[in-house]
Structure 1
């Protein structure tokens, strides 16, 4: 499949955009008019630069309000097209995007529009270029893909074809099934964009909220399947208007874009596997498959990286963990409880974020610690690693001495190290032997029974990117996003889950103001939620060992009585142990929070059929963390 990306998707200059697209591995680009107009580089030089980078220039766009015009206005359209054709000859691109008219003066006469498209086609043919006519979803009279395609067919000119844009099709709720029956020779170009479902006027929705395939709610696999059935063999290009993308790093956005196309290509191939095998699909687009990889079946480990080893290991000890051992060749420890393995590595500085405070004056609350790595059990680690790398992920460099276990790892877009391993029959992964752990580490006093979930904080620039990464590389699926109020704004939370719900990974987007410093250190700290069947006893043991719980206000407990009609004795016990309580249709939920340790804290949860994540309690936690942070700053 020939992959392309519109320069409007990317930040930076036109020259930087070409370099980023080539570096990411795209086959070609669409040149957006404004990017060329503001560039000091001539069209001929742009052509040579693209050729040197191995990029084809697949489309020049847009040619606006060129049809559906009164006679005098149409003459000017012909003039503009002549000039544009000359420019495209210098640029070395042969396809021009022609948009349907959005002006109130647009003429609603299909016969006239078809005739004007034919006349434009005559001019285009003189310059050796083609016109790809696109129905904008907010077009005055032509705003659906089937209407635009019928006009193209009526124009009956070899230089006039259709451009299909997934956003314009799916934002209007149109059924793309008819694409399968379209003449592929009259389909000149295809543009793809995903988007979250929103109640918003379609123009604003399009201009600000498009995302890459797999990052929104549109069924692009279905649309692509119909496109392949038609026999289309041209470029498949990304056209994304998104405020965040235009401000993010150009290279990582390009990598994310190609990842989305490779994932979509693989998903489409799988959907059409039976039809392709039976020869029912006119397979003119060669759909490449990604390496087969199953979703994670369990947690292998969580890694904490810390600049204060003492504070971090004391927190683990107070929660009931015990030191399993030190790695034989690296400055790393492993702490164990039940089936949970927490790897602790010491670093001189924070690797995923800048330290928030002066290291010379850190209290336990301020000690920098972060969730630096997540290990997952998968059926085939090598295949999972290969799939992630083919999707543009960067491998994690790891020193390995002879005899040590090979750990396959890649970086998630937010910098978290993701490792793929396999479980063993006796429950012990091979790498534990490098810490001197040779037998089942389960202890009689273990009250932690597993990892319930790991909550990972995201910056606004990378939120959609991480959703796509965990979807495409790990095979997780996303739940609908929720918003939680906090002292510095709303926090958006979206949970990524494995098919059996064993892996649950909430991704949380912190408020922009928090990243600017209004909630320094705990804008939305990450946390590891540990599962237990007796959270009360975990809390009592932790209290005896000196754990500092996150303080919960009295008003919260008074509200519990109102919300759930709990008896006084139960509420007194919750208050004494700093426990929080929630209930849903499936059961009860008890949990407590530790204080933050740099950018991370621990939560211990007891589920009694409950399926949520304590969203009602999250604002209480955020406010308590905020007050604690403010007291330390004061």
Structure 2
């Protein structure tokens, strides 16, 4: 599949955008007119630069406000268009994007639209270029791709075709089924954009909130299957207007864009696998990625080792041992849960989540898939007799490893820490990892969603928002289809006037499962665990909401337990440790098939963390 990207998607100068697109692996680019206008380089220099980088220049865009006007204005528009055709010849671009008129159209007449497009086609023929007519979702008279295609058919000119843009189609709720009715040779260009579902005017939605495929809510796979059946075999291009992209690093945005197209190509290939019709669009699948069987291990690093291992001990973990060749690493275990700790020495550095190990049926295929999706691979030094842990860097810098599935639940790498099977306690109170919450920089949030979707086959599910003392927090739930791996990705608040609190502005956490949370809490309390305090107002509110048995409410209060219940009688009990650097640990017990995350209690937790961190700043004793 030929890939392209509009220069409007990327930050920087035109020269920087071309370099980033080429380095990421795109086949071509669309030149956005403003990028050329402000460039100090001539069209001939841009053309040569693209050729040197191995890029084709696929589209010049946009040409606006052309059809539906009086003859006097139309003659002026033709003159303006001819100047752009001459410019395209200098650039070596053979297709221009013509948007349906938004501002200057005064005559609503399809016959007139078609006649004016036909005259434009005659002019285009003289310059050996083509016109791709696109229905803007907010076009004055033409805002529907089927309407635009009817006008193209009426124009009946070899130099006039249509441009399909998924945002303009799907933002209006149009069905994409009719795409299959368009002859492939009359589709001159295809632009893709995804977007979250928002309730706002379409123009603002389009200009600020488009995202790459797989990062929003549009069904682009369905669109691509319809497109493939038309016989279209031209470029598949990205046209994304997004405030974050305009400020983000140009190289990583380009990589994220190509990753999205490779993921979409793979999904489309699978969607068409059973289709018996001929498909001209060249599609290639990625190496298969199997659902992860679970979390193999978690890795954290700290400059506060004593504080960190004390909390693990209070929760019932035992030291498994130190790594035989990397003495600054140790592993703590409880039941099937393994937490590797990297000791940074007595530096006081915050305790942070640095790595996730997924139990993967085929680590080699997962690594190959990561490479094809442009994920940076981890160069891990090891001795000859040590496990070859393959992995890639997530957008936030977290190391994601692909570990082998262990039939007996005992991975071979544990031997490097001196841990033996007989060391594993089968009746541990902690029974697994319920979920992992990772805080994401706001500018990489959508990129992270696509990373875990495309690389690990996780699915984006519910997105929640809730208030905190430092602003609104947004959570994206990600999980594997088998529910063995569950991640919560949270937007970390932007830097602001929050002082040192921003070191732990939205702390990450590990949620451990148990079938007896009261026993875990009592054991932890006896060992001196500092629970995150829960205010009395919370328990009074619980009683008002759920009419709990007074003895049960006292049990919750006594053990700093929070509580939630769903409409089907499922229950969720959980408690939090105090924050360790930028992370904390949660212990949860699910009863009766409860499937939520305790999100209704998140504001209580965030407010308590805010207070405790503020008190620490001010020297208030715990």
Alpha-carbon contact 1:522-1:625 (below 8 Å) kept: no
Matched, 1:344 2:341: yes
After TM superposition, list the pairs within 5 Å mapping 1:588-603 onto structure 2: 588-603=571-586
Aligned residues: 615
Matched, 1:296 2:296: no
Q: Which residue of 2 aligns with 1:392?
A: 374
Structure 1 residue 105: Cα displacement:
3.8
Matched, 1:624 2:608: yes
Q: Which residue of 2 aligns with 1:152?
A: 152
Q: Which residue of 1 aligns with 2:444?
A: 462
Q: Which residue of 2 aligns with 1:172?
A: 172
After TM superposition, list the pairs within 5 Å mapping 1:535-614 onto structure 2: 535-586=517-568, 587-609=570-592, 610-614=594-598
Structure 1 residue 425: Cα displacement:
2.3
**SS in structure 1 at match of 2:443:** coil
Structure 1 residue 519: Cα displacement:
3.9
**Cα deviation per residue 1:16-37 (whole Å; 9 max; x = unaligned)?**
1111101100000001011111
What is the TM-score normalised by the length of structure 1?
A: 0.95
Q: Which residue of 2 aligns with 1:41?
A: 41
RMSD: 1.4
After TM superposition, list the pairs within 5 Å mapping 1:344-363 onto structure 2: 344-347=341-344
After TM superposition, list the pairs within 5 Å mapping 1:478-557 onto structure 2: 478-512=460-494, 517=499, 519-557=501-539
**Cα deviation per residue 1:358-401 (whole Å; 9 max; x = unaligned)?**
x5xx5xxxx50111001111111110111111111010110011
- Change over 3 Å in CA distance of 1:95–1:440 after alignment to 2: farther
Q: Which residue of 2 aligns with 1:27?
A: 27
After TM superposition, list the pairs within 5 Å mapping 1:250-269 onto structure 2: 250-269=250-269
Q: Tell me the distance in 2 between the aligned counterparts of 1:518 and 1:100.
A: 51
Structure 1 residue 515: Cα displacement:
8.9
After TM superposition, list the pairs within 5 Å mapping 1:28-177 onto structure 2: 28-103=28-103, 105-177=105-177
Of 590-599 and 170-179, more deviation after overlay is shown by 170-179
Q: Tell me the distance in 2 between the aligned counterparts of 1:322 and 1:133.
A: 67
Alpha-carbon contact 2:375-2:392 (below 8 Å) kept: yes
Matched, 1:376 2:358: yes
Alpha-carbon contact 2:361-2:404 (below 8 Å) kept: yes
Structure 1 residue 348: Cα displacement:
6.2
Q: Tell me the distance in 1 between the aligned counterparts of 2:363 and 2:422.
A: 23
Of 181-190 and 256-265, more deviation after overlay is shown by 181-190
Structure 1 residue 90: Cα displacement:
1.3
Structure 1 residue 286: Cα displacement:
1.0
Alpha-carbon contact 1:259-1:391 (below 8 Å) kept: yes
Q: Tell me the distance in 1 between the aligned counterparts of 2:499 and 2:235.
A: 44
Structure 1 residue 467: Cα displacement:
0.6
Q: Tell me the distance in 2 between the aligned counterparts of 1:307 and 1:420.
A: 26
Structure 1 residue 212: Cα displacement:
0.5
Q: Tell me the distance in 1 between the aligned counterparts of 2:422 and 2:148.
A: 67
Structure 1 residue 442: Cα displacement:
2.8
Alpha-carbon contact 1:488-1:518 (below 8 Å) kept: no
Q: Tell me the distance in 2 between the aligned counterparts of 1:311 and 1:389.
A: 38
**Cα deviation per residue 1:67-108 (whole Å; 9 max; x = unaligned)?**
121111101111101111111111111110000001264321
Q: Which residue of 1 aligns with 2:305?
A: 309
- Change over 3 Å in CA distance of 1:383–1:516 after alignment to 2: farther
Alpha-carbon contact 2:210-2:240 (below 8 Å) kept: yes
- Change over 3 Å in CA distance of 1:104–1:52 after alignment to 2: closer
Q: Which residue of 2 aligns with 1:354?
A: none
Q: Tell me the distance in 1 between the aligned counterparts of 2:292 and 2:228.
A: 31
What is the TM-score normalised by the length of structure 2?
A: 0.97
Structure 1 residue 512: Cα displacement:
2.6
Structure 1 residue 229: Cα displacement:
0.2
Alpha-carbon contact 2:134-2:162 (below 8 Å) kept: yes
After TM superposition, list the pairs within 5 Å mapping 1:261-280 onto structure 2: 261-275=261-275, 278=276, 280=277
**SS in structure 2 at match of 1:521:** helix
Structure 1 residue 464: Cα displacement:
0.5
1:318 to 287, 290, 314: 314
Q: Tell me the distance in 1 between the aligned counterparts of 2:146 and 2:423.
A: 64
**SS in structure 2 at match of 1:244:** helix
Alpha-carbon contact 2:432-2:514 (below 8 Å) kept: yes
Q: Which residue of 1 aligns with 2:202?
A: 202
Matched, 1:217 2:217: yes
Structure 1 residue 516: Cα displacement:
6.8
Q: Tell me the distance in 1 between the aligned counterparts of 2:292 and 2:252.
A: 25
Alpha-carbon contact 2:194-2:220 (below 8 Å) kept: yes
**SS in structure 2 at match of 1:157:** coil
